[in-house]
Structure 1
Amino acid sequence: MNSRRPLTSLTIRDEVDVVACRQCAKRIAEWLGMSRLEQIRVATSVSELARNIYQYAGTGSFQFQLEMDERGQLVALGFEARDKGPGIAQIDAILDGSYVSATGMGVGLRGAHRLMDSFQIDTGPAGTRISAAKRLHPPRPAPSDASVCAFQDALAHEGTVDPFREIQVQGEELMLTNAELMAKQQELEATNLELASTNKGVVALYSELEKTAQDLQEASESKSRFFSNMTHEFRTPINIIENMSKLLQSGADGTLNAEQRKQVGFISDAVSELSQLVNELLDLAEAQSGRMDVVPGAFGLVDFMLQLRQFGSALSTRYPKVDCQVHLPDRDLPMNTDRNRLFQILRNLISNAIKYTPQGEVNVRVFQTDEHCVEFLVEDTGIGIAEEHQAQVFEEFCRIRSPGLTHIEGTGLGLPLAKRLAGLLKGDLSLSSTLGKGSRFFVRLPCAFEHQEVPSARAGLKGTTVLVIDDNAADRYLVGRALQPLDVVLIEADTARASIDKLHAVRPDVILLDLDLPDISGEDLLESMDWAMHQRVIVNTAKALGESDRERLAPMCHAILDKSRPDYNEALIEAIERLVWSHAHEG
């Protein structure tokens, strides 16, 4: 949660105070290093709100604040305007643009709202309070106490406000803003011409891509059916061998000698490994095909962690040089998800951590990241994974060769299956690792699994402009097919350069950005965007992102979406809905 530090305050009693408010806002924005246009936007918003206070309430006050995040980084310039006037009637209609007034009342308030990144208003017969903020991008170190005091002294010693000079400055700012609008208009006209000339080719390409996508879908379904059918067929003979081995070991048909017990033990161990492989293959095929059922149920987090502790203790007996510790949370938390699938994810991660730790520790912890989500951490002090191999560990049957570990039990399916299951539970699995020092696996998922089937709400996406920046034609096509029923306006760009004109001319409501672009990396393109545009970006990638990657990208986008999720289409639509909803209810 952000903290706020008061910077300065002003009282509004007459017209000169309105001008003083505007100048103060611009002076603070300049001190914080905002661009010229951002300074104008802040000053204009403050000026309109101050004028409203003077015209409709008579007197009021403005307080400017610095907003810091939990790490102490400066993230926004905020202000709070208060008055004890009669309140603002029909405030909702004013803010959504439906209110019509012959006198122009409400136009300035709505304009101020649109110029700020966050805006909250409380109004009634006892008065009005408005809290607003303009974000700083990128976040930066907060100014020192000495710097703040020096700036406050400078503000206090500035001369009397000159209204005529302020009119001249506003005229210059208006010319600058008008020049920007003219440039945007020219870019928009050029983009429209380009779109019109390429439309015929796009239609033909869609037809070809639709057939290719259908062929790929049929091939994928055939593969899933093959895995499912074959693994089911394998289970019958495997069960027979397992049961026969147990029967022989029990001595029901005569006592075995030492050599026979050894031989039957080998058979029993081998068939157990084969049974595990078949089970994992079947689970993976079902997860990939989307046929795997999720059975949510209520349980306590402490009880679940005790179950993991029991599993870890049993497994540790086979690896006496590894200390496996499952740490209980400070307080219990009610969960409502598929407990068996969640246990399967953590079981695979713990087994993997212990096997790749010749000597050392494995620690399992859980954290409540917010009121709706939890994060499990499985951390080991083992051999680690080189950065170039970290994406491969989530591929089926992939086994990374490790010096000094000549024999590692397993099928190469544990981590891919765990990632699929995490996606199935509406969560995500990621890792960070350092070769020779160990690995950390993170499982994030909601406390309560919920199916988001709300087709009626999706009608609200009609007309939403979605820009897809992706060099893969098939991926762009699949996004288009997923969004087709929602009647959105879809714009496509296959390179970063091709997207730049569209970004500034159209200012799309939603931007789906792939990180692997052929000319400029998606991350570099993201960094070049302004803060307001960052809030419209959904990173749409097939790359396996580590914890550090996600921490770096998170402040620059609304969400990060994994293309490999089994419920990708549903997750895509849900992410777009959340983004559009957050903008509609901003402030």
Structure 2
Amino acid sequence: MRDALPISSVPILSEIDVVLCRQRAKQIAGWVGMSQLEQIRLATGVSELARNIFQYASQGRFNFYLQRDARGQLNGIAFDAIDQGKGIAQLQEILDGSYVSTTGMGVGLVGAKRLMDDFQIESSDKGTRIRAIKYMGQPRPFPDEAQIVAFRQQLNADGELDPYKELQLQSEDLLLTNNELRIRQQELEDTAQELENTNKGVVALYSELEKTAQELKEAGESKSRFFSNMTHEFRTPINIIENISKLLASGVDGQLNAEQLKQVKFISDAAAELANLITELLDLAEVQSGRIEIAPTRFSLFAFMEEIETLTTSLAIRYPGVTPLIQLPTSDVCLNTDHGRLFQILRNLISNAFKYTPAGNVKIKVFQPDDAHLEFLVEDTGIGISAENQARVFEEFCRIKSPNLKNIEGTGLGLPLAQKLATLLNGRISLSSREGQGSRFYVQIPLELGSEQSDERELDLSGTTILIIDDSDADRYLIRRTLEPYDPVLIEADSARASIDKLNAVRPDIIFLDLELPDISGEDLLASMDWSMHQRVVINTAKPLGDEERARLEPHCHALLLKTQADYSERLLQCVRALAWRQE
């Protein structure tokens, strides 16, 4: 054996040699410092294999070794069990547990395999060779040559084996093992009782959480209705104030003196500010309640950027210390999205950039990162946002205070509203900022609103074979019902063992693999697949995955899909679409 040193050898020629072999295994295990239970497990496994050699092959040999790890430390005991018998018939059936014997043949072999940490067997009509290792819990320094020589001399000096004494020792081992099993049984019963009590508590907690969630949902809906109703009610008096202010300022009913004009302008500005707040509150309430309407229309990017240029020019008049810089696109494209909502998003971002830039510039750019998306950049050289406040700026009514800027106009609703509107346009807003060095807001949206939905309608899985490996009937049912409209060939397996013949015979185009299978872990099953199949695998699990697990799994699969995700069905279809189109 590689990385192993021979320590002892026992020929199997008679019944007494079987007992001697067991004794030798226990002596070596005790000498290297294995626990008493580990000594018994090793000795029992060796005894079963030695008895098999004597019973079915008449004679053979056991060679024992000290096993080294990569650092040269002692980490286990290894052995070869060799005979020149007729070989083991139905070996595979014996090992996988499907062989039924009337004589008990194979029971000892399976039992010994379970007691070892590493077990390899080769059998033919010329004989059988078993290589096995029992590892130690903690590696320790490898014995030096003098220690090994002294131990071998001790083995030789022990003299002839006393079968009766050995039988007594085996009885003591049996009592010790039974006591250990009794303790483990009691621990299992205690754990089962604890789990039962915990489950009752979890059920009660879920019930309470469900009730609280429902109350929160109702409270949220009440808040949205309140905002919506009240803002509608506020609009009428605000409109009256604005319109009468304009009439007074126009001099229709008589010219006003300078002081009166100044007062009327204060009233008009305050009314406009209040009207803007009402509009933002109403939009936010409609977004939260799901009643906001998105109306996609086709329009030119060039024309849209001209509107943005007009907006920034008007803002520059109010903020003379800020210079707007607009980089127009080099080529025009056609968008099919909600023009008004997209303009509202950028207006809020650009207005914020002017407000929080005492002096400097505000830059607006547009990029096309790929054929399906546009990305707008609003960059300023203002006060910036600290790392701890970057998530807060998207909270409603949140306004970041700065000692350098006072009396900043606004309500704290612009950014939250912009973020929610971007989501409705199937886009997203991201932020990059450093305090004192300005901010960058990125808005990415698809050129075609609803392109994701059209992709789903166009998905055709006819002729695509999909294997679902999962022991949960409900999870397999969900995948099946999600994919059935697209006409795939669906195959199901409720265990790793049930999937093996399907993997090899069918070689599916797409594989959904659960990590927690009843017989073999999903990760071990994945490792057993050939590399060409790895990129067809979508790991589909409810198990929370840490960073280390993700880093270990991601190179060996197409995607990681969590069953607990809120948008699980959509992500499932995205994975299938990507795999199906890649194989076309």
TM-score by length of 2: 0.52
Corresponding residue for residue 50 of structure 1: none
Question: Once the two structures are aligned, what percentage of the paired residues are identical?
Answer: 50
1:575 and 2:564 correspond:
no
Inter-partner Cα distance in structure 1 for 2:573 and 2:440: 32
Q: Relative to 1, partners in 2 of residues 1:283 and 1:255: Cα closer, same or farther, differing over 3 Å? A: same
Aligned-residue offset at 1:401 = 0.9
Inter-partner Cα distance in structure 2 for 1:319 and 1:229: 35
Mapping 1:188-587, distance limit 5 Å: 209-450=209-450, 486=482, 504=523, 509=538, 523=547, 525-533=549-557, 535-537=559-561, 573-587=569-583
Inter-partner Cα distance in structure 2 for 1:325 and 1:348: 17
Aligned-residue offset at 1:215 = 2.8
Inter-partner Cα distance in structure 1 for 2:223 and 2:359: 40
Inter-partner Cα distance in structure 2 for 1:575 and 1:219: 30
Q: Tell me which amino acid in the other structure corresponds to 1:410.
A: G
Inter-partner Cα distance in structure 2 for 1:301 and 1:466: 48
Q: Relative to 1, partners in 2 of residues 1:424 and 1:302: Cα closer, same or farther, differing over 3 Å? A: same
Q: Spell out, residue by residue over 1:344-399, the C-alpha distance to the aligned partner (whole angstroms, 9 max, x if none).
A: 00011111111111111111111111111111011111111001100000000001
| SS of aligned partner of 2:370 | coil
Q: Relative to 1, partners in 2 of residues 1:367 and 1:452: Cα closer, same or farther, differing over 3 Å? A: closer
CA contact (8 A) 2:384 2:435 kept: yes
Q: Relative to 1, partners in 2 of residues 1:513 and 1:242: Cα closer, same or farther, differing over 3 Å? A: farther
RMSD: 4.1
Q: Tell me which amino acid in the other structure corresponds to 2:308.
A: L
Q: Tell me which amino acid in the other structure corresponds to 2:339.
A: R
Q: Relative to 1, partners in 2 of residues 1:234 and 1:464: Cα closer, same or farther, differing over 3 Å? A: farther
| SS of aligned partner of 1:529 | helix
Inter-partner Cα distance in structure 1 for 2:415 and 2:525: 42
Q: Tell me which amino acid in the other structure corresponds to 1:275.
A: A
| SS of aligned partner of 1:536 | strand
In our comparison, the structure showing a higher alpha carbon Rg is 2
CA contact (8 A) 2:538 2:559 kept: no
Aligned-residue offset at 1:505 = 6.4
Q: Relative to 1, partners in 2 of residues 1:339 and 1:216: Cα closer, same or farther, differing over 3 Å? A: same
CA contact (8 A) 2:235 2:275 kept: yes
Inter-partner Cα distance in structure 2 for 1:224 and 1:484: 37
Aligned-residue offset at 1:228 = 0.5
Q: Relative to 1, partners in 2 of residues 1:577 and 1:390: Cα closer, same or farther, differing over 3 Å? A: same
Higher relative contact order (CA 8 A, sep 6+): 1
Inter-partner Cα distance in structure 1 for 2:268 and 2:413: 21
Inter-partner Cα distance in structure 1 for 2:451 and 2:280: 25
CA contact (8 A) 1:366 1:375 kept: yes
Q: Spell out, residue by residue over 1:298-328, the C-alpha distance to the aligned partner (whole angstroms, 9 max, x if none).
A: 0111111111001101110111111111211
Q: Relative to 1, partners in 2 of residues 1:581 and 1:453: Cα closer, same or farther, differing over 3 Å? A: closer
Corresponding residue for residue 88 of structure 1: none
Structure 2: runs of 5 or more not aligned? 1-129, 131-191, 485-491, 493-514, 527-536
Q: Relative to 1, partners in 2 of residues 1:453 and 1:334: Cα closer, same or farther, differing over 3 Å? A: closer
Inter-partner Cα distance in structure 2 for 1:391 and 1:329: 30
CA contact (8 A) 1:464 1:509 kept: no
Inter-partner Cα distance in structure 2 for 1:222 and 1:459: 43
Q: Tell me which amino acid in the other structure corresponds to 2:230.
A: M
Q: Tell me which amino acid in the other structure corresponds to 1:504.
A: E
Structure 1: runs of 5 or more not aligned? 1-174, 176-193, 468-478, 490-498, 541-562, 564-568
Aligned-residue offset at 1:289 = 1.5
Q: Relative to 1, partners in 2 of residues 1:513 and 1:278: Cα closer, same or farther, differing over 3 Å? A: farther
Inter-partner Cα distance in structure 2 for 1:462 and 1:211: 39
Q: Relative to 1, partners in 2 of residues 1:464 and 1:273: Cα closer, same or farther, differing over 3 Å? A: farther
CA contact (8 A) 2:482 2:569 kept: no
Q: Tell me which amino acid in the other structure corresponds to 1:532.
A: H
Q: Tell me which amino acid in the other structure corresponds to 1:583.
A: L
Inter-partner Cα distance in structure 2 for 1:344 and 1:270: 21
Q: Spell out, residue by residue over 1:208-233, the C-alpha distance to the aligned partner (whole angstroms, 9 max, x if none).
A: 55444333322221111111111111
| SS of aligned partner of 1:376 | strand
Q: Relative to 1, partners in 2 of residues 1:273 and 1:297: Cα closer, same or farther, differing over 3 Å? A: same
Inter-partner Cα distance in structure 1 for 2:276 and 2:479: 39
Q: Spell out, residue by residue over 1:187-240, the C-alpha distance to the aligned partner (whole angstroms, 9 max, x if none).
A: xxxxxxx9xx89976777665554443333222211111111111111111111
Inter-partner Cα distance in structure 1 for 2:561 and 2:248: 63
Aligned-residue offset at 1:504 = 3.0
Inter-partner Cα distance in structure 2 for 1:247 and 1:483: 65
| SS of aligned partner of 2:291 | coil
Aligned-residue offset at 1:406 = 1.2
Q: Relative to 1, partners in 2 of residues 1:529 and 1:402: Cα closer, same or farther, differing over 3 Å? A: farther
Aligned-residue offset at 1:531 = 1.4
Aligned-residue offset at 1:337 = 0.4
Inter-partner Cα distance in structure 2 for 1:298 and 1:250: 39
| SS of aligned partner of 1:420 | helix
Q: Tell me which amino acid in the other structure corresponds to 2:538.
A: D
Inter-partner Cα distance in structure 2 for 1:403 and 1:378: 24
Corresponding residue for residue 67 of structure 1: none
CA contact (8 A) 1:458 1:577 kept: no
Q: Tell me which amino acid in the other structure corresponds to 2:282.
A: L
Inter-partner Cα distance in structure 2 for 1:533 and 1:232: 53
How many residue pairs align between the two structures?
A: 341
CA contact (8 A) 2:562 2:568 kept: no
Q: Relative to 1, partners in 2 of residues 1:250 and 1:401: Cα closer, same or farther, differing over 3 Å? A: same
Q: Relative to 1, partners in 2 of residues 1:312 and 1:523: Cα closer, same or farther, differing over 3 Å? A: farther
| SS of aligned partner of 1:283 | helix
Q: Relative to 1, partners in 2 of residues 1:506 and 1:319: Cα closer, same or farther, differing over 3 Å? A: farther
Q: Relative to 1, partners in 2 of residues 1:324 and 1:214: Cα closer, same or farther, differing over 3 Å? A: same
Inter-partner Cα distance in structure 2 for 1:377 and 1:416: 17
Q: Spell out, residue by residue over 1:322-342, the C-alpha distance to the aligned partner (whole angstroms, 9 max, x if none).
A: 111121101001110000000
TM-score by length of 1: 0.51
Q: Relative to 1, partners in 2 of residues 1:523 and 1:305: Cα closer, same or farther, differing over 3 Å? A: farther
CA contact (8 A) 1:363 1:378 kept: yes
